Structure 1
Amino acid sequence: MTNWVNGRVHEVIRWNDRLCSIKVKADLAPYVAGQFGKLSLIIDGERVGRAYSFVNPPQAEYHEFYLIKIPEGRLSPHLFNLQPGDELQISHEASGFMTLAEVPEGRDLWMMATGTAIGPFLAILSEQQVFQRFQNVVLVHGVREREDLTYQSLIQSFKTQWSPRFRYIPIVSREECLDILQGRIPALLDNGLLEASAGLVISPTCTQTMLCGNPAMVKDTFHALEQKGLKKNLRREPGHITMENYW
């Protein structure tokens, strides 16, 4: 049974009419960058809760969550309408294995996300450990439209501090943008454009990957990486692909 604690909204960032980030003050158990907690509200006398990854590193003053408003959803429209000072409930303990500790050694680390699933990667990148372990770090973010490419100031700070070891590759699938790769991550792996954009070759001899996004993206990207010789990472049998479905 989930142990819920009260949290108070500190700030709401509305990126557009579908995406927002919520910063919450709450007393939670220690957690690791890349893990997720559960947010909940009492709606019509019933508790409604969903899992959301922490965008912030654990040492941050506030707990930050990145979410998309699903019009027919039971919880997200209510979360989207929260204001500073409002209360909600958060699970006291975090969960999840999309953490750096689960990833074997390698030279290059590719983080591939779609939509709000970029959240756990932003938390991991905010800590220096990832750059202590890997020579090159690539963040790939696939979205529908350019306006969905959020957290640009934070990403720019990574580029400023860690360039040329840090590479950011945005991808748009439903809008024509001359300066941004277009399509889906699996297709851009198949045709070589993703590797060409990063200036790195994906190979089982030097590459580790982390996949986080909708199930179709994770499945198709996994198969595309298998074609390059990479295999699923398991605790009993270390590999190259660590993945998590993001809903």
Structure 2
Amino acid sequence: MAQWLTGEVIENFAWNSELFSLRVRVPRPFEFVAGQFVRLGLAADGERYQRAYSLVNAPDDPVLEFLINRVHDGDLSPLLHRLTTGQALQVSQPPSGFFTLNEVPAGESLWLMATGTGIGPYLSMLQTQIPFERFDRIHLVHAVRYAADLAYQKQIQAWVDAQPQQLHYQPIVSREACEGALQGRIPALITSGELEQALGDTLTTTSQVMLCGNPEMIRDAKDVLEDKGLAKNLRRKPGNVTVEHYW
């Protein structure tokens, strides 16, 4: 049964006016597997609001971190957006979810594809040794609308610099030109071959793909990957494509 811990905000970092990272200290060690999520909760105006958010931090980091986009007509995210250092919020325990690397079969390459805040679980995974020990090549693909939505750029680049032969990063920006980024949607860039060309690798049945984010992206990407012979990964029938719907 889920329990609630009272956490303390130690930082609310704004990437832009809508996208922010919330760092939270909890009163005791918090164990989770990279890729899992918890619920954050706040009370306001006599109501209690809660929503699931993936953990961005490494599993051995004592400070929990969440990448959040403010939804103006949402119940919780505007409240979280206003939190300041020292304020309290509730964090559910234990963590939940099966969007983890131990659910992904063996393969030669690992493609981590996300839209928006869906990059969160991958950031946690890449702070462990698991993907680097299991896969020869790792491709982090992050699709957003505007360049300002490309969070954690310095951290990602530091990881790429440390593992240049193994880890590759490809941003995608759909609504404006951005140096170094592809333009368009993930499914279309798979279909055209532009994504594979940019990363210098090929999506085959020796690849493992994780999809996280916009349900439309996941639906369409699954279809184009299936056309390439990459089937959905299920516990009862292992395949190549593991998915997490993010909203």
Indicate the percent of aligned positions where both proteins have the same amino acid: 49
Instruction: Report how many aligned residue pairs link the two structures.
Output: 246
* SS of residue matched to 2:20: strand
Distance 2:82 2:173 in 1: 27
Secondary structure of the 1:55 match is coil
2:218 matched to 1:190? no
The one-letter code of the counterpart of 2:20 is C
Q: Does the aligned pair in 1 maintain the 2:138–2:167 contact within 8 Å?
A: yes
Q: Write the mapping of 1:210-229 to structure 2, written as runs, cut at 5 A.
A: 210-229=210-229
Alpha-carbon offset, residue 129 of structure 1? 1.4
For 1:106 and 1:71, how far apart are their aligned partners in 2? 41
* 2:3 alignment counterpart: 3
Task: Give deviations 1:68-116, integer Å, cap 9, x for gaps.
Answer: 0001111101100100100000001100111010000000000000000
Counterpart Cα distance in 1 of 2:29 and 2:217:
32
Unaligned runs of 5+ in 2: none
Question: How far off is 1:177 after superposition?
Answer: 2.5
Deviation at 1:29, TM superposition (A): 4.4
CA distance in 2: counterparts of 1:183 and 1:176, whole angstroms:
10
CA 1:154–1:179: 2 relative to 1, 3 Å:
closer
CA distance in 1, matches of 2:180, 2:151: 16
Following the alignment from structure 1 to structure 2, what is the Cα–Cα distance between the partners of residues 130 and 179?
Answer: 24
Q: How does 1:25-174 map to 2 (within 5 A)?
A: 25-26=25-26, 27=28, 29-174=30-175
Q: Offset of 1:43 from its aligned partner?
A: 1.4
Amino acid at match of 2:90: Q
Report if aligned partners of 1:28, 1:92 keep a CA contact under 8 Å in 2: no
Residue identity in the other structure for 1:79: L
Runs of 4+ in 1 over 6 A off after TM superposition: none
- Say which SS state the counterpart of residue 182 (structure 1) adopts: coil
Report the TM-score when normalising by structure 1: 0.97
Measure, in 1, the Cα distance between the counterparts of 2:231 and 2:63: 36
Give 5+ residue unaligned stretches, structure 1.
none
CA RMSD of aligned residues (A): 1.0
Q: What displacement does 1:144 show?
A: 0.2
> Is the partner of 2:242 in helix, strand or coil?
strand
> Can you list the C-alpha shifts for 1:115-167, whole angstroms capped at 9, x where unaligned?
00100000000111110000000000000001111101110121011112111
Q: Measure the CA separation in 2 of the matches of 1:33 and 1:86.
A: 26
Normalised by the size of structure 2, how large is the TM-score? 0.97
Deviates most, 155-164 or 194-203: 155-164
